[in-house]
Structures are given as C-alpha cells and as structure tokens.
Chains A and B, each alone.
Chain A
C-alpha cells in the first residue's frame, strides 16, 4: 500500500513556525461557531435561530450573519416571548430583524396562558413554562433544528451537553445517550419526530462574549451598560423599578448605578451595581467578577444544583 501523501518521516517537519499563521482565541472560537452554523444550514431540513435579545443570542445572530455573507441568513429567527420583556430588548430585536432582512417567528407565552396550554407558576416566573411554548411553536412551524446561544460554562449540566444535542419526540434530553462528537465531524441525522438543538457557542465563556462584543463592535441593548435608576433590594439582589418589577411596601427604593448581566424574565432578573459604561469596561468588570451570572442575577436559578438538569430533561433550552 502506498502512503497517502508525502514521504518525510516527520510530516510536520516542514511546517512554518511563523506567528503570522496563528489565530487568536476569539477568532478560533468564531471560526468554530461559523463552521457549526454552516453545517446546520447544509445538513438540516428546517432550522431556526433562537433569539432572546440577550447578549449571547445577539452574538449568535452576528455569527450567523458572518457565516453566510454576502447572502442573507437562510433561516428564520424564533423568539419565545414571555410577555415579560424589557422594552429595550424588543426594540433591539425588531431593529436587527429589519436590518438583516430576516423572518421573525414569535411564540407567545401570554397567549398560551390565555388558551390554557400552560399555567402561570406561583412565583410568576415564565422561564419554566416557556419550554412548552417553544416546543409547540417549533412543531407548528416544522422546525427540526433550533440554534441556541447556550454556553457550557453557564452551569454543570451544560458542561456535558454536546454541540448537537438530540431531543426525542417530547423534546426531552437524555444525557446518557449522547452521540460522541469526534473532531469537527457532527452527525446531524434525526428520525422523524425528533429534533436537534445546536449550540455553536458552547465553548465561549461570558468573558469571551464581552471580549468579542468589544472587538467586533457589536451593538447590544443599552441595559447592559451602566445607568442610574431607582432600585430596591430583594433576596440580597438589586432590582430596578419598572413595569414588571415593583417594590413591596417594606422594600426601600433608592437610586443606584446599575447594569444588567443577563436578560431573562424581566420580573425576576436582577441588576448588578456597576459603573461599566462601555464594552471595554464591561469586559474588565466581567474578568474580575467573583459571581457567576446566574448566581448574581437569576431569582429562580438558585433553587438547586440539579434544577437545570431537570429542566433540560423536560425540554428546556
């Protein structure tokens, strides 16, 4: 049998050593994400990109734009509208959809509540019940693959989730029967009725996201940057006073400089005290922070360590 190519003993011996041919960590992560997004477009029937208006999904949308430029992104954007949105987030969403010439599909949690499909949770959070709305909307539109902006550094159960993550007919995740992902060779096959969630930014951390936003000049809702406004303290977290979030009589309102680290359900998402007003300042702040973003800002994620794993098994994103 003849060797495939070349005959040197050490095949890498001639390799150039020039730093000219090394890629920064952000550009490496970008190249990997673009590869994954293109793989979805090439191999899967009807994908859609989940867009929440948060920074991770904004970066995802930008990566998708880059993957197909100068053509348009060849799939629609799907937003599960909890009805508990920050106005700035919806404005940003609509602006982006228009700028990129995309089709927007919205699944409304409020409407699902009105129809009796899901019931409001006692604590008012719609993070959990949005799962049912997501599954219903995806089914109605025949989406077989959903691209999402989840990151593995967010929490322990995610650390083991594959980039291409399979869901059975009920949208459920089975951590024990995941496909091995060897090299960049993703097996995208699904049976009828099954679907895939794809996470192109699995390997990014919160710090990578902000470094990228800074480096690539990506616009995010102004709430991510420091601003002064009335706030109150609850469960040792800071909440801004707005339409969805009112202080109880016992809770004292005061002014503070804050910013948001995540954009979840507006009724439960806390802000953090911050003077970081530019992407570079936010990046520096994130680099020095000693609290996870969920720990710092999500009123409903602190419940238990296994909470996310359980939610994912139910089909949560």
Chain B
C-alpha cells in the first residue's frame, strides 16, 4: 500500500465539502459518532438530507461564515492506498492556502458546477495546480444531476477545459462527470450517465501511477543534521542525516559535497533498521562518507557529473503570502532545502494575473496572494534546481525577519 496526496479546490458551493464527505463516507472512513453528530446538526437545521459537507467543517469561524478559510487535512484509506486530502479554500483571497495544499500534492482535483460551466475560478485553480507542478489533474464536473445528466453539457465543459489546459504545463488530465451529492461516479459508476466511459473518481485515484512522478535521476541529498554520538563505543562515528530529495544513492557511489565541491564516496547508507544498499526519495537516512570532510547542515551531496547550480542569483515565480507587499529592495530570509540565507529582492519582472495569465510588467509590487516573477540575490549560494525538474530542490520559502512570518513561496525558474 502506498500513499497518495490529494489537493482539492473549488469555488464556494461547487460541492467540494460534499465530495470529500462522500469519499470519506463511502470508503467507510467516517465513524458512527461523527455521523450521528452531523445527522443531528442536519436535522436541527431542517435539512432534507444529511449534509455530508458538515463532516469537513472545521474551525468555528468557518462554521459561522459557512466557508473554508484554511487548509484542512483529511485521511482515508482503501485496500490499495492511503489518501491524505488537503482541503483548500477556493476564493482568491486564500490563494496562499491553495498553494500550500498543492505544494506536496500528487493529484489536484478542481471542481466545477455543471450548471455554471467553467468560470474564472476554475481556470485559476487549474493554473495554480500546474504552477505548483502537481503531476495529475482531475476536473470534476459536479452537480450533473441538476443538468439532467446531459452529455452535451459535460462535453462542452470538457472541450473548453482541455483547450485551456493545453496552454498550461499539465502532463496528465482526467475529466469526470459526477454528482457528489448523489454519489454518481465518486465511488460507484453512475447508472445515470452510461455515456461516460471512464472510471469513477476513487477508482482513478486508486490507480493513477505516481511512482514515476518522483525524480529518480538527479541525486540530491540536502544534509539536515550531523550525527556524532559522543559515546565511548561510537567515538569516531560521523553520519550525515537527511531526506533524499532526488535520485538513487548507492553505497560506493562517488559523490561531491556542495558548495565546497570536495569529492568522496558513500561508505554506507544507514537507517535505524540497519544498513541499506540504496536510498531514494523520500527516504530519511544517514550517509557515512569515506573521507573525513567538513560537511554541515545546509550542504548538498550529489554526483560529480550531475550537479545543481550553485548560485546566489535566483530567478523564481513567487506567490506572495505576506500582509505588507513585496517590493524590489526588500530584504528577507530564504529557506531552501535545509539551508537558510538572506536575500535581497533585486527586481520584480512582472506580476502574473492568475485569472487571465496576463503578465503585467508595470507592476511595482506583489501584494498578498499575488504571483510574480522576481530576481533574488542571496548572501550565500543556494544549490538550486529548476522547480519543474525537482519540487524538493526547486522550492523555497521567504521569511520576514522582523515578524518571523512566512511571507512567500518561491519556485525556481533559473539560476546563474
């Protein structure tokens, strides 16, 4: 059994909570006491049916306003897979929360209301999924029961979306007509839409191939922590702990440590279960090196003939999450893999309108929830990969040193 991370996005009332509630309910991940609680609430409110959306209602502020504000995580499992759902709000003022949810997702689900067709928000959600390089996208055309299960309605939405998606970097797109409320094409195949040949959503999620989404080519090992036992029996032991960010590491491999560029070999790869021959993402392991080099947290171990750029000049797309705007000249802290440095915003190249994809080169700042392309200069070099090549070594966060707030999420486009 493996793990699949899912991010869902939809506008208010498209049926996102109902869909998640339905998946939890139909996969028997809902407990009777939880169900009784929402049945009670539904009855008290005078609903005609039990509102499954109540299952995912979180914080009190959200219940009061009837909308999702913050990312919430849900869990369910089938015999094939364990699923982690990042339930993210769809409204533009919560773009940062959607970016957060999508950052680690294997599959993004964008919901659309069949009666309304594609709206600006659906396009924005699809764009964010592609920007964050979520490898698989599902467009769920929901509320098909309200358009008489019409194939024409579905087909026109599908065609329009496929046309739009071709302009984005989306490698795998699946479109599914459904009714989250009635359960059609969520877990069970819909009897109301015999014209739809594809699989129901859950079947798709159970079978979508994700093992090949990880980068197993470029060896990247950000050193996280140096293990030195200070015990009599292990006095000379020195291990470099970290989580593999790319490639396959093997005992005996020739490696270099960046930024120093010093070379050595992997003497052993260890886990608490004992030594292993190979390590790959996302394993957390300890490397021992043949030579006694000066290696510390923030260094990157890779292969001599396949290195990231070691650079202080970074071009990136940044989603701004701070209350006070990003302006050229602003100084911030930057955390990239296990390395933290300071950075100066040298230039704002453009602000990207995430509804129209128009590039506004006249923009003078990036405000909360806006996305733009910036050029940064860092105080110490980063070991940078393009984000589209490796999410783990291509992403970074920006931190305001006065407030300690996380104010930006960046995706590296290039470095020199």
B197 is an interface residue with CB less than 8 A from chain A: no
Interface flags for B237-253 (1: CB within 8 Å of A; 0: not) read 10101110000100000
Q: Which of A31, A153, A160, A185 contacts B58 (CB 8 A)?
A: A160
Residue of B nearest to A21 (CB): B280
A4 is an interface residue with CB less than 8 A from chain B: yes
Q: A182-B100, A295-B31 are in contact. Are A305 and B37 (CB under 8 A)?
A: yes
Q: Which A163-206 residues have C-beta < 8 A from chain B?
A: 175-176, 178-185, 187, 189-191, 202-203, 205
Which of A66-74, A92-100, A125-133 is near enough to bind chain B? Answer: A66-74
Q: Is the interface of B mostly helix, strand, loop or mixed?
A: mixed
CB distance from B176 to the nearest CB of A (A): 24
B70 is an interface residue with CB less than 8 A from chain A: yes
Contacts of B75 in A (CB 8 A): 152-153, 203, 205
B224 is an interface residue with CB less than 8 A from chain A: yes
Q: Which B311-357 residues have C-beta < 8 A from chain A?
A: 315, 321, 333, 335-336, 338
Contact A179 B2 (CB under 8 A): no
B12 is an interface residue with CB less than 8 A from chain A: no
Q: Complex Cα distance A190/B401, Å?
A: 10
CB distance from B92 to the nearest CB of A (A): 16
Most buried by A among B57, B69, B82: B82
Residue of B nearest to A29 (CB): B3
Residue of B nearest to A302 (CB): B33
Contact B386 A3 (CB under 8 A): yes
Q: A4-B389, A183-B395, A309-B59 are in contact. Are A70 and B103 (CB under 8 A)?
A: no
Contact B399 A189 (CB under 8 A): yes
Q: Which of A11, A23, A295 contacts B2 (CB 8 A)?
A: A23
A115 is an interface residue with CB less than 8 A from chain B: no
Contacts of B126 in A (CB 8 A): none
Contact A71 B33 (CB under 8 A): no
B166 is an interface residue with CB less than 8 A from chain A: no
Contact B409 A15 (CB under 8 A): no
Contact B59 A175 (CB under 8 A): yes
Q: A22-B2, A176-B61 are in contact. Are A182 and B74 (CB under 8 A)?
A: no
A291 is an interface residue with CB less than 8 A from chain B: yes
Contact A180 B1 (CB under 8 A): no
Contact B338 A31 (CB under 8 A): no
CB distance from B249 to the nearest CB of A (A): 12
Q: Complex Cα distance A32/B414, Å?
A: 28
Given A5-B306, A72-B231, A160-B59, 11 more A-B residue pairs with CB atoms under 8 Å apart are A4-B385, A11-B386, A39-B224, A42-B225, A65-B272, A67-B284, A70-B229, A157-B59, A180-B99, A183-B104, A203-B75
Interface set of A (CB-CB < 8 Å, partner B) = 1-6, 10-12, 14-17, 19, 21-25, 27-32, 34-35, 38-39, 41-42, 65-72, 152-153, 156-157, 159-160, 175-176, 178-185, 187, 189-191, 202-203, 205, 207-208, 289-292, 295-296, 305-306, 309
Could you name 5 residue pairs across A and B whose Cβ atoms are closer than 8 Å? A6-B217, A21-B248, A70-B234, A189-B404, A205-B77
Interface set of B (CB-CB < 8 Å, partner A) = 1-3, 31-34, 37, 56-61, 69-75, 77, 81-82, 84, 96-97, 99-100, 103-104, 171, 211-218, 224-225, 227-231, 234, 237, 239, 241-243, 248, 270-272, 280, 282-284, 286, 297, 306-309, 315, 321, 333, 335-336, 338, 384-386, 388-389, 391-392, 394-397, 399, 404-406, 409, 412, 414-416
